[in-house]
Chain A
Amino acid sequence: MTEENKAPSPVMDRPPRPAGEGGRPGGDRPRFGAGAGRSGPGGPPREGARKFFRRKKVCKFCTEKIADINYKDYRLLGQFVAESGKIVPRRLTGVCSPHQHRLAVAIKQARNIALLPFAGRVQ
């Protein structure tokens, strides 16, 4: 309810901003503050608006300390390949950027040597 009441006002306030920029940016800010308060730590305000609580994803390779991401380890790589054969994006798996990079390279090598499919399931 509070969001609906608050949301239109900044939009309406936005046009006069270029003319008198003194107070208006400050008027915007409470909205962000309220958003953060609603969701709590660990999630952007948009997710906080929903009912369920989303767990913070962590990188499997960092937590389990898997240093070697090898193309021969197709069982490990298979966890990060979708049913269709696609590499799962890290926004879904929670893998960190450096590990996702190694992972992608390894998956591509594994595909080349027919350990993983380019498309579809292993028959």
Chain B
Amino acid sequence: MNRTYELMFIVRPDMADEDLDKLISNLESTVTSASGAVKSVERMGKRRLAYMVRKFREGVYILLTVEGAGSVVHELERRLRVTEPVIKFLTVRIDEEQKRLEKIKKLRESRKKMSAQPAAGADEAPLTPAAETTATA
């Protein structure tokens, strides 16, 4: 059962860059060893936290997109919990949402085509495209 998850975590702001690199590569290896795949790693940089977390007012945000079964996430979360410099993390399943967004995108594109085509061609169509353009506009 392959699912896509988004794992966002915050590390303490005073962490050295090399340590962070090491941490990320560690996490990546845990994902691959748990038969998952890392799709992307995004460093969102240092940001002020909305509230104090473990006496820190700011933190470095990292976004990890992972594909795999739930066991991958389980293992990743366990690691993050144990890792001391990680002050907060959040896992969100995103595949369903992505599917939904793609569906909406497709629908919108097909509507665009529908409203563009009959206007150029058929003569019995003019009623419907007119109604559609007003609906989409």
- A-side residues, CB < 8 A to B, are 65, 67-68, 71-72, 109, 111-118, 120, 122-123
Contact = CB atoms under 8 A, between A and B. Distances in A.
A114 to B, nearest CB: 4
Contacts of A123: 48, 57
B84 to A, nearest CB: 18
Contacts of B101: 67-68
Given A114-B49, A120-B51, 13 more contacts: A65-B108, A67-B101, A67-B104, A71-B90, A72-B8, A109-B92, A113-B10, A113-B89, A114-B51, A114-B53, A116-B50, A118-B50, A118-B51
Contacts of A115: 50
Main SS at interface, chain B: strand
B59 interface: yes
Bin chain B's interface residue count: 10 to 19
Interface of B: 8, 10, 48-51, 53, 57, 59, 63, 88-90, 92, 97, 101, 104-105, 108
A1 B63 CA distance: 64
Contacts of A122: 48, 50
Contact of B10 (A67, A71, A114, A118): A114
A63 to B, nearest CB: 12
Contact of B88 (A65, A114, A117): A114
Contacts of B92: 71, 109
Contact of A117 (B10, B50, B89, B97): B50
B21 to A, nearest CB: 22
Given A118-B51, A122-B48, A112 B104 contact: no
A104 B97 CA distance: 15
Nearest to A102: B97
Contacts of A72: 8, 63
Nearest to A71: B92
Nearest to A123: B57
B90 A109 contact: yes
Q: Which of B49, B50, B63, B89 has the most CB of A within 10 A?
A: B50
